[in-house]
Amino acid sequence: MLSYIIPFIVLILVVVFIHEYGHYYFARRYGVGVTDFSIGFGKEIFGWNDKSGTRWKICWIPLGGYVKFFGDRNVFSQADQKKLLAKYNEVDRQKLFVLKPLYQRALIVFGGPLANFLLALVIFFSIYTFVGKDFTPAMIAEVQKDSPAMVGGLKQNDVILEIDGNKVESIMDVSKFIMMSTDNLIDFKVKRSYDELILKIKPDTILGEDNLGNKINKRIVGIKLSAYNNEINHVKLGPAQAVFHAAHEVYYVTTSSLKYLGAMVFGKADTSQLGGPIRIAKISGQVAEFGLLAFVSMMAYISISLGLINLFPIPMLDGGHLMFYAFEKILGRPLSQKTQEGFFRIGMFLLLSLMFFTTFNDLKDLGLFN
């Protein structure tokens, strides 16, 4: 159990700290007072005060964090400005979040997700620079009899160039692109001798195991791969190339995640793949056993997920507040307190429903429900 808990706590601490620091950075940049910077919720385990008056603390429940601004009940409360003006002197008013210009408030809110994307970018950049990136072309070594690949026309010795328009730069990309596909047919662009062909393959879905031994619904086409000419091409990249490929990976994970979630909403993708804290804890422990590189890579993907989810236009998330600011920009005034409270109730319902669903999937994954 400890082998799962410790990596999970480390993962959450880093990803959440970076997220909250994004809010903190822009808040301090625009002169907003920050009274609390908390990693975790509940009772404080330990903490300290810095010279600007911020209380930095670690709390018992390590499933998130928050930055509390001067004069606010919570991070993004919409307090009555007239009451605020009467309550604080001129110096203190300069530190109030709700009195800042709209663009500054929006940047402070957006700073959290932005920091998560930047963390992933830095991790991928570091891996590609100091460890390297695989560029081994993917060649089909075997097409299984009567498989979707055989029916669709794939043949032995075909070199896979693209899958659903995504360039296959490495043999490692093939299974990833197949798993993330959501359409009934997958487009394979292959090189056969001197010709380039586009073939449509209808994958089968089977109950299998991922690389960590966890049961998942896998999309398969029935091929075995090998390195082209049996040569592994693993290259350490220069700074410019590393930035390009790191940015591309962040972009791909973001867009494919949105596409996959959209497919889930319309019933075209497997909702059992949605997991919560229990599954993340389990997988982080399993990944940590493969070494620091695998664990740090997972941290990058979790960081992207956290940043992306927080941008959804759901009240209580950063995206919900950005939605309110968009209304404020369009209407020329903030939404009424009553309207915002209505949105927050909807947001609370959606988040609790998502938590219930992911927890159910986690418990089912552990074998408690069959």
Residues taking part in catalysis? 20
Beta bridge partners of 44: 59
Going from the C-alpha of 29 to that of each of 24, 111, 241, 278, the distances in angstroms are: 8, 11, 31, 36
Q: Could you give the CA distance from residue 331 to residue 338 in angstroms, rounded to a whole number?
A: 16
**Residue 259 has which token pair?**
């596409």
| Residue 337 half-sphere exposure toward CB, CA atoms < 13 A | 5
Q: Provide the 10 A C-beta neighbour count for residue 5.
A: 13
Q: Could you give the CA distance from residue 237 to residue 126 in angstroms, rounded to a whole number?
A: 10
**Residue 187 has which token pair?**
């487009």
C-beta contacts of 230-234 below 8 A and 24+ residues apart? 231/136, 232/134, 232/136, 233/134, 233/135, 233/136, 233/137, 234/132, 234/133, 234/134, 234/135, 234/136
| Residue 99 half-sphere exposure toward CB, CA atoms < 13 A | 21
Q: Provide the 10 A C-beta neighbour count for residue 60.
A: 10
Supply the DSSP symbol for 185. Answer: S
Phi and psi at 145, nearest 5°, equal: -60, 135
Give the distance from CA 358 to its chain's centroid. 15
272: helix, coil or strand? helix
DSSP state string for 136-162 = --EEEEEE-TTSHHHHHT--TTPEEEE
